[in-house]
Each structure stands twice: as structure tokens, then as C-alpha cells.
Amino acid sequence: EPEVTQTPSHQVTQMGQEVILRCVPISNHLYFYWYRQILGQKVEFLVSFYNNEISEKSEIFDDQFSVERPDGSNFTLKIRSTKLEDSAMYFCASSRQGHSGNTIYFGEGSWLTVV
């Protein structure tokens, strides 16, 4: 069964450094997402992406964050200058369609620790 894959599984970075988290969505999916979960808190929506542009973003997704689909398979989340509070598990997800009843499939997550 096809799966969303994410790299790295764990990354430690110094405050102020740039981080790129990578994801390979399921191949026939058209909608891509990033969610995050700070330790002990809820899974939160960050951004959705379709047709090579952001379709929706949350208030968390400020100018420090950006997403890109650099080629036909990868979908990346970049944090330009990391802060301590960016430490979290970041989940990439994808879906075949974009309506609200559609199933979203998640990757295993990338655990980011900012020190």
C-alpha cells in the first residue's frame, strides 16, 4: 500500500538555523499538507498546497515558514530561522481530493528539536 514518506525522522538544529523537512506524498495524490504536534499538545494544521500554490494556511504558518514542490515527487517545508518553540513533530500528509469528506493520509513524522 502506498505511503507518505518523510525525511529526516529526527533532526536537531541550533536556534536561528534553517531547516528543510522533506516529504514524498502518495504518487497519485494532488493535495498536500503539513501539520505539527508540539509535545503534549494537539495535532495542528499548518498549510495546504494544491496546484503548486498554497490554498490555505494557519496563523502558525508565518513568514518563517515556506513550502515548495521542487519536482514531481517531493514536497518540502522550510523553516527559515528556527526558534525554540518550533520544536515539534511535523507531519506531512496528502489526499487524492480536496473536499472535506476526503481521507488524508499521514507520514510518520519528522521530529524537530531546536536547541
Partner 1 sequence: AQRVTQPEKLLSVFKGAPVELKCNYSYSGSPELFWYVQYSRQRLQLLLRHISRESIKGFTADLNKGETSFHLKKPFAQEEDSAMYYCALSWGVQGAQKLVFGQGTRLTINP
Question: Residue 88 carries which side chain, given as an amino acid letter?
Answer: A
Q: Return the residue of 14, 27, 52, 100 that touches partner 1, per CB under 8 A.
A: 100
Q: Write the DSSP symbol of residue 55.
A: E
**Is residue 59 at the binding interface for partner 1, with CB under 8 A as the rule?**
no
Q: What are phi and psi of 63, to 5 degrees?
A: -65, -15
Q: Give whichever of 14 and 28 is closer to partner 1, judged by the CB atom.
A: 28
How far is residue 30's CA from residue 98's CA, in Å, rounded to a whole number?
8
Q: Give whichever of 61 and 114 is closer to partner 1, judged by the CB atom.
A: 61
Grid coordinates belonging to 99 = 473536499
Residues in touch with partner 1 (CB under 8 A)? 3-4, 31, 35, 41-45, 48, 50-51, 55-56, 58, 91, 95, 98-109
